[in-house]
Chain A
Amino acid sequence: KAGVTQTPRYLIKTRGQQVTLSCSPISGHRSVSWYQQTPGQGLQFLFEYFSETQRNKGNFPGRFSGRQFSNSRSEMNVSTLELGDSALYLCASSLDKNTEAFFGQGTRLTVV
Chain B
Amino acid sequence: AQKVTQAQTEISVVEKEDVTLDCVYETRDTTYYLFWYKQPPSGELVFLIRRNSFDEQNEISGRYSWNFQKSTSSFNFTITASQVVDSAVYFCALSERWGDDKIIFGKGTRLHILP
Residues of A in contact with B (beta carbons under 8 Å apart): 31, 33, 35, 42-43, 45, 48, 50, 55-56, 58, 88, 90, 92, 97-106, 108
Contacts and interface: CB of A to CB of B under 8 A. Distances in A.
B102 A56 contact: yes
A99 B35 CA distance: 10
B44 interface: yes
Contacts of B107: 42
B91 interface: yes
A103 B105 contact: no
Interface of B: 33, 35, 37, 42-47, 50, 91, 95, 97, 100-108
Contact of A105 (B35, B37, B44): B44
B102 A90 contact: no
A43 B43 contact: no
A48 B42 CA distance: 24
Contacts of B50: 99-100
B90 to A, nearest CB: 12
